[in-house]
Every structure is written in C-alpha cells, then in structure tokens.
Amino acid sequence: MEILFKALEEEFDNMVDFRRDMHMYPELSHHEEKTPEKIAQFYKDLGLEDVRTKVGGRGVVATLEGGKPGKTVALRADFDALPIQDAKDVEYKSKIDGVMHACGHDVHTSTLLHVAKVLLQNKDEVPGKVVFLHQFAEEVIPGGAKFMIEDGCLDGVDAVFGAHVISTMPFGKVGALPGAFMASGDTFEITIQGKGGHAGMPQHNKDPLTVATTLFQSLQTIVSRDTDPLNSGVVSVTTFNTGQPNFNVIPDKVELKGTVRTLDDETRDNAEERIKQLTKGIADAYGMSADINYTRGYPVVVNDDDETVRILEVQRQVMGEENVIDIKPQTSMEDFGYYLQERPGSFFIVGGALEDKADVYPHHHPNFDVDERAMINIGKLFIATVFDYNGEEQ
C-alpha cells in the first residue's frame, strides 16, 4: 500500500496541472463538452481500453481489471462548474467569463484520474475491478447521476464510494457519517394571480402582494410548527418578483421561488403537502388564484452503515485517529444519493482549507479555492478503500 501511496504522491505535480487546467476552462452543467473529452483522452493515453463515453449523456466510465480476484468497487467524481464569476487573483483563474469551479469538482476529477493511473501502473496488485465514474451535471437538478445509472454505470458494481473536498474544513482532517448525511433538495415556484391597477385605488384591484407576503411568513411555520423538532428541515423563499418597477402600480401577479431541504422522507412529504395547502388556502382567502410547481430534486444521501464504518476505519489507518473528526448531517444536497439507492457505499468529506484563514471562502463563493494537497488525501483514501473492500491488508 505504501508503494501505491508513494506513487500517488509522485503524481502530485501532474494532479495540480490537470486540476488547474480544468479550473481555467470550466464548463456548466449539461454543457460539458471538452471536459469529458479530456477525461476520456487521459484514460486512452494511459492505455486503458475499457472506457465508455457519453454515458447517460455526457458521463465517462472507465473500468480497470486488477490482477487479483475480488469484487467490483466504483469511485465517483463530478466535473461540472457553476455560473459564478471567478474573483481570485491567481494564475489559474477561470478564463471563461461568468463560469468557475467553485465547488471543487476539478479537484475531484484530477484526483480520480491519477488514482486510476497509479492503480493501472500497479494493476497486478489490485484486487477485483475498479470502476471510475466521471459524472456530469451534479450542480443542476435532476443531475447526472440518475441518467448515468439508467445507462448502466453501476452494472456489475458491488459498492460505490465518493468524496467531497471541503474548503472550510481544516486540511488534513476527514470525516464520514453513517445514515442520513446530506439533505434532499426540492424546489418550488409559485405564481399568485391578482388584478393589478392604480396603487391609489386599491379597492378596484386584487393585490397579489397581500397573498405573497402572508404566504412568505406562513411558509416559515412548516418547520417551526409542522415538523417534529427532532427532525431537520429548511424551507427558504429565495426569489420574490413582482415584475413591477413603478411605485404607483399594484402588480398583476407575484412570483415566489424557493427550496426545501430535509433529511427524511416523512418531513419531505409533509413540507410539500403543506406548501401546496398554504398556497391554495391563502390565495382563496383573498379571492385570488395561485399556481404551484413543486419539483422533487435529489434524494437524501443515506450512507450505508457498514460501508461507512469501513470508511471511518480506513480514514483512521490512513490519516491517523486524531484527524478523523465527528461530523453532522448537512443541508446541502448531492445527487450521490441516487448511487446509494442502488448500491451500498458511502460519501465522505476531506478537509481542504487553505493555510491562510483570510483566503478561506465557502463553496459557491467567487473566491473559492482549496489546498491542493487534499487531492493526495482523497486519493489515498480511495486506494485504501479498494483494497480494504476486498479484504486486502493496508
């Protein structure tokens, strides 16, 4: 195992180069063209023959057959970027206006590619098969995982694992959580139809703002009064649009948009039902109508208990007991949950905070960046997991 770890460390400069190239040329979800081409070409240059492209649309799946008998383990990395203007003052700043890797997907991709390279160079020692899943469109519902699964990316796979670098988590620290780890993510769009007119003569109108503001406040009671206090839930209205810039005109309609995050199906079902009930009830009370479009997004990321115990033990062995920290469920969403609905596995996190705290920014921020050494830590954990799953000593 140490030989493989050393080989991975020797790839660090190459890992950085590939990551920074991706960072400079990001591509948005469902618009990834050159990125999957580069990924596929990387595998072809390695001499790996079993490489599928356009999996589920834009995904890439490569399979390595080791020299020892064993089971099949899948490792996943995402590769889409976000519609954010890169504000960092670094040489690898995004060259694509309004698009940047602000969530670490470039880190994930480069890591997985070089893990594959090291395993291929030592394939006689590798047990079973390793499937490298390179996924598109993680950032946008309905995501890419669902379509890749439908296209057979998990066929023959016994277990699936993934990791996410965390820019605000100290470098060198790692963590994993059995059970519900990351929230489901739903969206809602509500259009309240009134009757606009002169703001000085409201008696002739039906002001949709009265419904919208009452609804805005009422939606907050879904979590505070309709949800078990021991369960987690978030209902956030993020867009409130009248389309009316004039001070003396009552708008004809108001649009609200928002998101719902939950960690269990009961809370999720209740939130959807109550949003619909409150919207209709309040609109009816004011003599107006309302249309609601509720879209179910990613499922809860539910880590398999046994496989997460495995990951935690691997983390202790590779990183040291003192560097494995306790983590809590998160209300961010991830479509890795789709993989875990199909196969046992676990999704874990790895610290990537920069040394200077002044340079530490959260994910989806214009100044987002990470300590690139986190790629080595993720890579080692991936390699160790492949061996541990097949009963090989580390």
Residue 86 is a catalytic residue: no
| Per-residue model confidence (pLDDT) at position 78 | 98
In angstroms, the CA 208 to CA 192 distance is 6
Q: pLDDT digits over 163-213, tens only?
A: 999 999 999 999 999 999 999 999 999 999 999 999 999 999 999 999 999
Spell out the domains of the chain, with CATH numbers in brackets.
Answer: 1-179+301-390 (3.40.630.10), 184-298 (3.30.70.360)
Supply the pTM of this predicted model. Answer: 0.93
DSSP H/E element including 211? helix 208-219
The mean pLDDT value for 15-44 works out to: 98
Residue that has been written with the tokens 């990183």 in this structure: 319
Judged against a pLDDT cut of 60, whether residue 88 lies above it is answered with yes
| Per-residue model confidence (pLDDT) at position 392 | 67
* 364 marked as part of a ligand binding site: yes
The mean pLDDT value for 123-137 works out to: 97
| Per-residue model confidence (pLDDT) at position 206 | 96
CB of 261 closer than 8 Å to CB of 234: yes
pLDDT band at 245 (very low <50, low <70, confident <90, very high): confident
Could you list the beta-strand ranges (E) of the chain. 51-55, 59-65, 68-78, 127-135, 159-166, 174-175, 179-182, 184-193, 197-198, 233-241, 249-250, 253-262, 289-298, 301-303, 345-351
Angle at CA 144, nearest 5°, toward 138 and 150?
155
| Per-residue model confidence (pLDDT) at position 287 | 97
CB of 82 closer than 8 Å to CB of 141: no
Average pLDDT value for the chain: 96
**How far is CA 9 from each of CA 163, 309, 314, 344, rounded to the nearest angstrom?**
18, 26, 18, 29
The mean pLDDT value for 4-27 works out to: 98
| Per-residue model confidence (pLDDT) at position 394 | 47
| Per-residue model confidence (pLDDT) at position 44 | 96
The mean pLDDT value for 288-300 works out to: 97
The mean pLDDT value for 328-332 works out to: 94
Residue 266 is a catalytic residue: no
| Per-residue model confidence (pLDDT) at position 376 | 98
Judged against a pLDDT cut of 80, whether residue 134 lies above it is answered with yes
pLDDT band at 300 (very low <50, low <70, confident <90, very high): very high
* 108 marked as part of a ligand binding site: no
Other CB atoms closer than 10 Å to residue 49's CB: what's the count?
11
Residue that has been written with the tokens 């300590």 in this structure: 371
Catalytic residue among 27, 86, 106, 138: 138
* 103 marked as part of a ligand binding site: yes
Q: pLDDT digits over 253-270, tens only?
A: 999 999 999 999 999 999
Q: pLDDT digits over 349-384, tens only?
A: 999 999 998 999 999 999 999 999 999 999 999 999
Q: pLDDT digits over 216-237, tens only?
A: 999 999 999 999 998 989 999 9
Catalytic residue among 80, 304, 334, 371: 80
CB of 192 closer than 8 Å to CB of 208: yes
| Per-residue model confidence (pLDDT) at position 244 | 85
